[in-house]
């Protein structure tokens, strides 16, 4: 615990290039954050302070306000001040101001703002950030000279010593033994069957030819183009050339392939183009890192025989670009990496409370307003700068941004060429604040010109709604009104325009992901429009409005030949305190992404209950497959901890068809008993097993700022998921006793880490322009 110190007032205000130029220089206003107290356990809390210091020659006049971002304090956090008050505005955006009018801060003086929040402080990145000072005259200044106290993992461990959490634990305490190359699989994901048949053949400056069956022209062309990028020989005609044959052979299942490297001859066999493509990717995966640098005159050809096919048909990766944006260039790079590791579904979250990221013809407000974040006192011209995305919307690379129609068509076309299906997510009815406000801008624009028809056509809000609610991400007014026809007109318009983009790009759109999660309690209870609707439709009850909405949008999608997907909530109902599969829609073929498998919360088997009830299920458990969870409890590691922490080991040791084996401890750090968990777990029926169609890994981006940070979050953590997506349950999970499983798990993990250290990570330094991965300091090879 740190102790409170006396401070002489100093203050730093940095400049925001907007309509006003403050009289203060960048170095004249300073801010400092310090942790004063940190309590774990029951009724845990933390106490901290922000110190603003004015080292300028000017007075900061009374009436100033301080804004900042953090999702890691309570919305009910209070200041220890008689003069000032801390207000929660929306989401992670807070404001400190005077109860009447804040006092001036004189030159050379400081003000100490002390607050107490429920919940302990866990990460150095959880401190308030994005400090913005609004002066009394309206000038806006971003505070750049801001120092934040940092905790060490030892200090945090000492603070939490009374709990069961082990902050010093590594992902696997067992040493990693160095094993010979002959025992290391050839690539990731590990092929179902593989056998080395001889020493590696090293080829230098040899010619190379690719011969493919007519059905496999795309795979042959892809391979030839890829080889040309990496292998640039000065051809020596005395060298025997390398021959690669990609041939069609009946009898293989979808996506299955065989490959044999014998001498300088490579043979890839498959029955369908996707299987041939994965055989090509497997051949490329055996190239050494210098190949990916693009200047290699040598090829190393492992002598190997491989038979391979995936366990799951659906192998997805979900990326949220609404909360923090990623450029088209980075999306294309992600698609390259997905295809290389044989993932085949890109679940693309394009809209949320904090941003709308796709151009929709006829609704320009969605991107003119909803895709831009910056600072204004009333959020009138753009969204607030959530997640400290910056006060100037024109200089906010993570807060502002969207994909034009041409951008999006390029993305889905490129994905198709890599055998990846892109499923867009437009989450409704909750998580919709950006769209709601954008359509309010549209309403105001048309009403100002006297055009009430167009003003009301796509309106999403009930302006008289007095419902009181707070969403899971602390937003108010983020749920669209489901009782008015304009809501359904809006949804159909958006879906129609997205479908047209697919058609224009020559790509089939099969599924729309509707989100559907985290509808706040209390929505629509104060809506006059909904009260009138319910009075006219007495067969529908207040608590059934969500089901009514889901049925309506399913009808819109069905009319367009599309299937609906959503998070697990769209297939659930509430009965008292219980959350159960909703039998009403179990025959609709709605694809559910089952995410809530937090160890110790009691819903760890929800995926199985939904599958048994008849829903197609994609296993997407937060505890294992949420890549935005921090790698460890080390306070220097960014990321969430609400579902625990997740490193490469945590993703790798997931057991999709026996989820009770996926944990070693609960969220609170208590031991997780596999035998007890199995006894309490819903067992998959034969029908249920067929309804588990695959798995998905997720990256939500509240704490992810920019492409380098995104890649750090993903790699190498994503490698564990890649293995599970292709190969399903690990071999160790099929053994009989706990001791046998634990021993075999350590042995399999040891091989996996050797594969990553010796094959996968060295390639990432150069592959697809280089990947900014996390170097696991805990992986040390022991002889």
The contacts of residue 22 (CB under 8 Å, 6+ apart) are 13, 15, 135, 139, 140, 141
d(CA 744, CA 734): 10
Does the pTM surpass 0.75? The reply is yes
Mean pLDDT of the chain: 94
**Predicted confidence (pLDDT) per residue in 704-732, tens digit:** 999 999 999 999 999 999 999 999 999 99
Mean pLDDT of 303-318: 98
pLDDT band at 8 (very low <50, low <70, confident <90, very high): very low
pLDDT at 174: 77
Task: For residue 518, indicate whether it is catalytic.
Answer: yes
Q: Which of the residues 87, 298, 518, 778 is marked catalytic?
A: 518
Name the residue with higher pLDDT: 439 or 576: 439
Determine the average pLDDT of the residues in 417-426: 98
Would you say residue 766 has pLDDT above 60?
Answer: yes
Q: Which pLDDT does position 171 carry in this prediction?
A: 63
Q: Are 46 and 38 in contact (CB under 8 A)?
A: yes
Q: Is the pLDDT of residue 291 over 50?
A: yes
**pLDDT the model gives residue 170:** 64
Residue pLDDT, tens place only, 356-403? 999 999 999 999 999 999 999 999 999 999 999 999 999 999 999 999
The Cα–Cα gap between 257 and 234 comes to 32
23: buried, middle or exposed (CB in 10 Å: 19+, 13-18, 0-12)?
Answer: middle
| Mean predicted confidence (pLDDT) in 40-67 | 95
| Options 3.30.499.10, 3.30.379.10, 3.40.190.80, 3.40.640.10; CATH of 193-308 | 3.30.379.10
pLDDT digits (tens, 9 = 90+) for 444-503: 999 999 999 999 999 999 999 999 999 999 999 999 999 999 999 999 999 999 999 999
Query: How much is the pLDDT for 10?
Result: 32
Architecture per CATH, 14-159:
Sandwich (2.60)
Average pLDDT over residues 140-164: 94
Between CA 371 and CA 403 the distance in angstroms is: 10
Distances 368 to 361, 372, 453, 663 between C-alpha atoms, Å: 12, 7, 21, 45
Residue 2, pLDDT score: 40
What is the band of 237 on the pLDDT scale with cuts at 50, 70, 90? Answer: very high
What pLDDT is recorded for position 17? 32
- The separation between CA 165 and the C-alpha centre of its own chain, rounded to angstroms, equals 25
Q: Where do the structural domains in the chain lie, given as residue ranges?
A: 14-159, 193-308, 319-338+345-567
pLDDT tens string 51-64: 999 988 999 999 99
The CATH number given to 319-338+345-567 is: 3.20.20.80
Tens of pLDDT along 517-527? 999 999 999 99
> Which pLDDT score, from 0 to 100, does residue 165 have?
84
| Pairing label, strands 110-118, 78-79 | antiparallel
Q: What pLDDT score does 18 carry?
A: 37
pLDDT at 27: 60
Cα(411)–Cα(423) distance, rounded to whole angstroms?
Answer: 12
Quickly state the pLDDT bin for 19 (edges 50, 70, 90).
very low
């Amino acid at each position: 615990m740190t102790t409170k110190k006396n401070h002489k007032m100093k203050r730093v205000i940095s400049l925001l290039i907007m309509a006003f130029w403050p009289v203060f220089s960048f170095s004249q206003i300073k801010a400092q954050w310090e942790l004063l107290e940190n309590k774990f356990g029951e009724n845990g809390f933390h106490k901290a302070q922000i110190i603003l210091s004015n080292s300028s020659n000017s007075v900061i006049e009374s009436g100033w306000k301080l804004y900042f971002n953090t999702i890691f304090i309570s919305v009910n956090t209070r200041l220890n001040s008689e003069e000032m008050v801390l207000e929660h505005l929306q989401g992670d955006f807070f404001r400190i101001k005077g109860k009447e009018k804040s006092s001036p801060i004189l030159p050379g003086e400081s003000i100490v703002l002390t607050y107490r929040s429920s919940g302990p402080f866990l990460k150095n990145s959880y401190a308030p950030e994005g400090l913005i000072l609004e002066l009394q005259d309206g000038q806006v200044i971003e505070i750049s000279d801001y120092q934040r106290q940092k905790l060490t993992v030892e200090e945090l461990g000492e603070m939490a010593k009374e709990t069961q959490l082990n902050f010093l634990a590594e992902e696997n305490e067992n040493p990693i033994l160095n094993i010979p190359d002959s025992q290391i699989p050839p690539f990731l994901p590990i092929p179902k069957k593989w056998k080395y048949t001889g020493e590696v053949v090293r080829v230098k400056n040899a010619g190379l030819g690719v011969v493919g069956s007519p059905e496999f022209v795309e795979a042959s062309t892809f391979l030839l183009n890829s080889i040309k990028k990496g292998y640039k020989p000065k051809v020596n005609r005395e060298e025997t050339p390398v021959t690669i044959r990609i041939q069609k052979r009946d009898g293989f299942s979808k996506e299955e392939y065989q490959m044999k490297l014998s001498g300088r001859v490579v043979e890839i066999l498959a029955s369908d183009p996707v299987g041939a493509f994965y055989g090509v990717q497997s051949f490329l995966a055996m190239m050494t890192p210098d190949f990916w640098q693009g200047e290699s005159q040598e090829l190393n050809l492992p002598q190997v025989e491989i038979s391979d096919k995936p366990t799951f048909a659906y192998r997805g990766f979900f990326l949220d670009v609404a909360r923090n944006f990623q450029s088209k260039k980075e999306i294309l790079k992600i698609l390259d990496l997905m295809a290389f590791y044989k993932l085949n579904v890109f679940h693309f979250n394009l809209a949320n409370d904090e941003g709308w990221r796709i151009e929709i013809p006829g609704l320009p407000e969605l991107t003119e307003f909803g895709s831009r974040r910056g600072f204004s006192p009333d959020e009138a011209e753009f969204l607030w700068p959530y997640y400290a995305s910056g006060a100037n919307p024109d200089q906010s690379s993570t807060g502002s941004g969207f994909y034009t129609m041409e951008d999006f068509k390029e993305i889905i076309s490129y994905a198709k060429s890599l055998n990846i299906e892109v499923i867009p997510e437009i989450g409704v009815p909750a998580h919709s604040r950006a769209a709601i406000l954008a359509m309010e801008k549209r309403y105001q624009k048309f009403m100002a010109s006297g055009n009430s028809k167009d003003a009301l056509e796509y309106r999403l809000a009930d302006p008289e709604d007095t419902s009181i609610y707070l969403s899971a991400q602390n937003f108010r007014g983020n749920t669209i009104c489901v009782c008015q026809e304009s809501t359904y007109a809006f949804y159909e318009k958006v879906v129609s325009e997205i479908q047209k983009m697919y058609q224009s790009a020559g790509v089939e759109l099969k599924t729309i992901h509707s989100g559907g999660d985290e509808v706040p309690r209390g929505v629509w209870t104060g809506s006059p429009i909904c009260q009138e609707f319910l009075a006219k439709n007495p067969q529908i009850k207040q608590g059934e409005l969500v089901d009514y909405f889901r049925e309506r949008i399913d009808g819109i999608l069905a009319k367009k030949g599309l299937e609906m997907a959503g998070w697990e909530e769209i297939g659930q109902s509430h009965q008292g305190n219980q959350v159960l599969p909703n039998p009403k829609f179990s025959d609709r073929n709605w694809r559910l992404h089952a995410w809530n498998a937090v160890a110790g919360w009691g819903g760890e088997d929800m995926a199985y209950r939904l599958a048994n009830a008849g829903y197609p299920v994609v296993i997407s458990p937060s505890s294992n497959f949420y890549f935005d969870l921090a790698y460890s409890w080390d306070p220097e590691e960014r990321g969430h901890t609400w579902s625990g922490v997740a490193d490469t080991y945590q993703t790798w040791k997931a057991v999709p068809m026996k989820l009770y084996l996926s944990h070693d401890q609960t969220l609170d750090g208590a031991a997780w008993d596999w035998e007890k968990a199995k006894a309490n777990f819903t067992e998959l029926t034969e029908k249920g097993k067929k309804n588990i169609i695959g798995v998905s890994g997720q990256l939500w981006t509240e704490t992810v700022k920019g492409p380098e940070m995104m890649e750090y979050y993903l790699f190498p953590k994503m490698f564990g998921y890649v293995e599970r997506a292709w190969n399903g349950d690990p071999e160790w999970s099929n053994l009989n006793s706990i001791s046998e499983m634990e021993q075999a798990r350590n042995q399999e993990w040891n091989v996996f880490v050797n594969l990553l250290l010796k094959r996968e990570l060295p390639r990432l330094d150069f592959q697809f322009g280089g990947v900014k991965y996390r170097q696991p300091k805990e992986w040390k090879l022991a002889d």
